[in-house]
Chains A and B, each alone.
Chain A
Amino acid sequence: MPLVQEIDYGTKQIAAATMVTLTIDGHAVTVPEGTSIMRAAMEHGTKIPKLCATDSLDSFGSCRMCLVEIEGRAGTPASCTTLVAPGMKVRTTTDKLRKLRKGVMELYISDHPLDCLTCSANGNCELQDTAGEVGLREVRYGYEGENHLEAVVDGSNPYFQFDSSKCIVCSRCVRACEEVQGTFALTIQGRGFDSKVSAGMGESFLGSECVSCGACVQACPTATLMEKSVVEIGQPEHSVVTTCAYCGVGCSFKAEMRGDTVVRMVPWKDGKANHGHSCVKGRFAWGYANHPDRILNPMVRAKTTDPWREVTWDEAIAHVASEFKRIQASYGKGAIGVITSSRCTSEETYLVQKLARAGFGNNNTDTCARVCHSPTGYGLGKTFGTSAGTQNFDSVEHSDVIVVIGANPTDGHPVFASRMKKRLRAGAKLIVIDPRRIDLVRTPHVEAAYHLPLRPGTNVAMLTSLAHVIVTEGLVDTAFVTERCDAEAFADWAAFVAEPRNSPEALQSATGVDPALVRGAARLFATGSNGAIYYGLGVTEHSQGSTAVMAIANLAMATGNIGRVGVGVNPLRGQNNVQGACDMGSFPHELPGYRHVSGPAVRAIYEKEWGVTLDPEPGLRIPNMLDAAVEGTFRGLYVQGEDIAQSDPDTKHVAAGLAAMECLVVHDLFLNETANYAHVFLPGSTFLEKDGTFINAERRINRVREVVAPRAGLADWEVTQAIANAMGYKMDYAHPSEIMDEIARTTPTFAGVNYGKLEMGAVQWPCNDAAPDGTPIMHESGFVRGMGNFVITEYVPTDEKIGPRFPLLLTTGRILSQYNVGAQTRRTSNVVWHPEDVLEIHPHDAEQRGVKDGDWVRLASRAGETTLRAAVTERVAPGVVYTTFHHPVTQANVVTTEFSDWATNCPEYKVTAVQISPSNGPSAWQDDYSQMAAQSRRIETVPAK
């Protein structure tokens, strides 16, 4: 397919009810009021030459190329900054304009290298194009005058270079950094002829506060800011639109290719989640797809102490089927199971859970959402009736008060964070509820109205005390509650939260937050017009994760902030397809579409479709699988695309469970930590090799398209199908679209979805006869469950308590440049920003322990200990420490405990009592583990014949 060339209209699209008709070059043109002349012309096929204008940015009017003449007006105004008017008569090409444009272009070119043939932008350079458009044939000023041609190239960033000699100082990069990304890392330094683009205070790009989102590179009209991959490979010749495989924002990208080589990933302007923006991961961190660590052949071994032996696909699949059948014969039908992955497509996860239910005859299927957003499923299901965020991402543009609780969007969901910051810069108020002083609390041109730095583990106390203020101060939206919610449940809840013991003053001893701040935040949220709540794993990964989700839903209902644009409850999903994996029935208790397995009517749908009798009992969840493995009743597991040995809590217990398996099958890109305990390794496909869908945090079903063929020979869904067939359960799909057709046939919320429809544009479920174009905003006229259900949220302190042995609270999270267990991002140049996990510790706590910034420290809990370097910072409060889990060398989950959410078993990652002490090197566990991992990854060398 050809290179997707998006039209640049020069200025932004305007949505206005009033239309204006004008004449451009003699043709009548009608556009919305407020549209620029430049855009009006382009929409009707006339391209006015331009350099500083691009339609992702506000008009700037500096380059003087887009001048036009307007009848009855003096001068030659810039068409990018001049708006249309009724009856206006515009001329875009006159002798006067031609002369002016050519003159300006001469000035640009007189200080520009004439190396077009060897320039990396050759064939894709707006300066070159514009010179052609204005008919430039000579530069009367010559090339010998004062110039910038000797400027040194800044190659510090691993992904793009900055060649100032080619810069025309159009400020598009500076404006993109401000307007699109909101980082304000770039500026124009100097004045007049000395003006030049500068990162930070004259620093290198890598040394500045640049976050490598790529917005500046995309905005640059020349080769000044250019991807190093384009410099090395050349311009792409075709492209495929697909979906990023990192976080739950689900950005659309054009994979721009030369042959079967990816030249670059460029955010797609028509992507409904990202609207042409990107972050450092999606834009640049895709090199892992070709990393030498990729395993491309199936491998088996009898014992985990043996080296791996490469085999054919047939032998590997036959071995898996034989072992799984043997285990079921020996230990029972329920002795094997599967784990699906949020990193895989919806079709792939659907097939894996089907393998368990129809092929294995049990419901032992779980997914990595167990350890992240399973409480969202439970909590929103109980209160609203379905497990999903209520809004689309665009909704934030209409929010007046934004609550961010237990989420760090600038690191975890950076593209959405940029949109949120833009709304905040436009005047929306921000309330941050987080133990850490996350970047959003104070970032350029954004400052939270309230930061409630609560103690880890006290979300429910905080949310209930906010509700206390709303109820006792008469701030409830009574009309909404009366019309939309269950009256008895509301009365019970209101009486509960109004109890004095739930006041901010009474709960201060738990939360540690000044009650005046809590009251102020509650008043702001309840009275600030459109209030939207965004939350993340800082809410769910607690022993009361599900209760906290319900408390958030209560707050939204009580203030009437549900069912329209600008409001809502918005779980920020961690991985790319958490929503899809959950939608597809990956949990052991429910079939696709969140319908419990105990329901005979629902089972009947699948029994008819699949031709088997289904088990009406729930299966094992991941932690239960590991417990059962240790106890001896669970012996075989197929893990697709997950690394539970690194991501799941209480590593020693996970390792014991995995080591107890008789047949552990890991289906992945790399020999990950879980594979250290595996007997079969099946090579998987990257997102560039997949065909299917990812469903993002706004329920949007985005197509993932195969950019290159699966490097290991089989797509992941084909591998699952082969296992099913070898086990004796027939599957014969020819393409993932057939899997989606089956999903649509059996799942009411997907009834209207098919690949043909998705080719017309990504839709948000529910998509069916009632909503053929999908559902951007949920619960508009009523909740899925009927009346909204208020739930009492009694605060129960976690049993993970600090004491003399472990006096600090550890909370964990992630950072911008790394993703989840780091299997992908650690195999890219993103390691320059985060080469190792570090422990954030407050200066007071550090001083007490004699710890200095950069020191090795021992991090110990009752579960285990590890060592890592300290980062002394006031981002964490005294008594709280923080780290990430991106590096297996650190194994942060050695320290986390077995405590979990009461409803879902989602681990309590966010609260672990720990002690910190100076250390001089890795712990015994780390040494032993490193040796074991090295031994386990040996691959048998086949002797030459």
Chain B
Amino acid sequence: MSPEDKLAYMANQIGRFFASQKHDDAVAQIEDHLRKFWDPRMRASILAHLDTVTLDPPVRSAVERLRPAA
């Protein structure tokens, strides 16, 4: 597994958990988890490879929210 694929794999694992929770905003929960547990360079790396990695839809949405404000 390449480093970016490994990150995508981990993000999808996180996504599967939060997607299964009722009444929670899965995208917000995934984003919160990534912000709270991933070092900034991991977040930057997955963002940098967003076009090439395979992410489940809510995970992709959550990762996109990690993008620093312009």
Chain A residues with CB under 8 Å of chain B are 334, 364, 488, 492, 496, 543, 547, 588-589, 596, 598, 617-621, 624, 627-628, 630-631, 633, 791-792, 794, 796, 898, 900, 902-905
Contacts and interface: CB of A to CB of B under 8 A. Distances in A.
Contact of A898 (B1, B17, B42): B1
A631 B17 contact: no
What's the interface size class on B, roughly? 20 to 34
Contacts of B13: 543, 796, 902
Contacts of A905: 10
Contacts of B14: 902-903
A596 B36 contact: yes
A902 B23 contact: no
A900 B35 CA distance: 19
B41 A903 contact: no
**4 pairs of A and B residues whose beta carbons are closest in the complex:** A902-B13, A794-B20, A492-B22, A620-B39
A719 B6 CA distance: 36
Contacts of B33: 903
B28 to A, nearest CB: 15
Interface string B12-54: 0110110011110000000001011111111000000000000
Contacts of B1: 898
B21 A903 contact: no
Contacts of B6: 627, 898
Contact of B23 (A488, A617, A796, A904): A488
Nearest to B13: A902
A686 to B, nearest CB: 34
B3 interface: yes
Contact of B3 (A364, A618, A631, A900): A631
Nearest to A619: B39
Contacts of B22: 492, 496, 792
Contact of B41 (A492, A496, A596, A633): A633
A791 B21 contact: yes
B37 to A, nearest CB: 6
B36 A589 contact: yes
Contacts of A596: 36
Q: Which DSSP category, helix, strand, loop or mixed, fits chain A's interface?
A: loop
B23 A492 contact: yes
B68 to A, nearest CB: 12
Contact of A624 (B16, B17, B20, B39): B39
7 contacts: A589-B37, A598-B36, A617-B39, A618-B36, A621-B37, A792-B22, A794-B20
Contact of A902 (B17, B35, B38): B17
Contacts of A588: 39
A621 B37 CA distance: 9
Contacts of B16: 794, 796, 902
Nearest to A362: B39
A791 B29 CA distance: 14
Interface of B: 1, 3, 6, 10, 13-14, 16-17, 20-23, 33, 35-42
A4 to B, nearest CB: 46
Nearest to B45: A631
With a 10 A CB-CB cut-off, give which of B1, B22, B23, B41 has the most chain A CB atoms.
B41
Nearest to A337: B39
A618 B37 CA distance: 6
A596 B6 CA distance: 25
A496 B23 CA distance: 13
Contacts of B20: 792, 794
Contacts of A904: 37
A525 B70 CA distance: 55
Given A618-B39, A905-B10, 8 more contacts: A596-B36, A598-B35, A598-B36, A627-B3, A628-B41, A796-B13, A902-B16, A903-B17
A631 B44 CA distance: 13
A93 B70 CA distance: 93
Given A488-B23, A791-B21, A792-B20, A902 B10 contact: yes
Contacts of A488: 23
Given A492-B22, A492-B23, A898-B6, A794 B39 contact: no
A897 to B, nearest CB: 10
Nearest to B35: A598
Nearest to A546: B17
B39 A334 contact: yes
B37 A903 contact: yes
A790 to B, nearest CB: 11
B36 A794 contact: no
Contacts of B21: 492, 791-792
B54 to A, nearest CB: 14
B52 to A, nearest CB: 16
With a 10 A CB-CB cut-off, give which of B1, B17, B40 has the most chain A CB atoms.
B17
B40 A794 contact: no
A618 B38 contact: yes
A741 B15 CA distance: 41
B31 to A, nearest CB: 13
A302 to B, nearest CB: 28
A889 to B, nearest CB: 29
Contacts of B35: 598
A624 B42 contact: yes
A547 B36 contact: no
A488 B23 CA distance: 9
Nearest to A794: B20
A619 B21 CA distance: 27
Nearest to B42: A624
Contacts of A543: 13
Nearest to B40: A617
A580 B42 CA distance: 28
Nearest to A587: B37
B17 A794 contact: yes
Contacts of B23: 488, 492
A588 B38 CA distance: 9
Nearest to A590: B36
Contacts of B17: 547, 794, 796, 902-903
A214 to B, nearest CB: 43
A560 B35 CA distance: 34
A330 B9 CA distance: 31
A633 B39 CA distance: 12
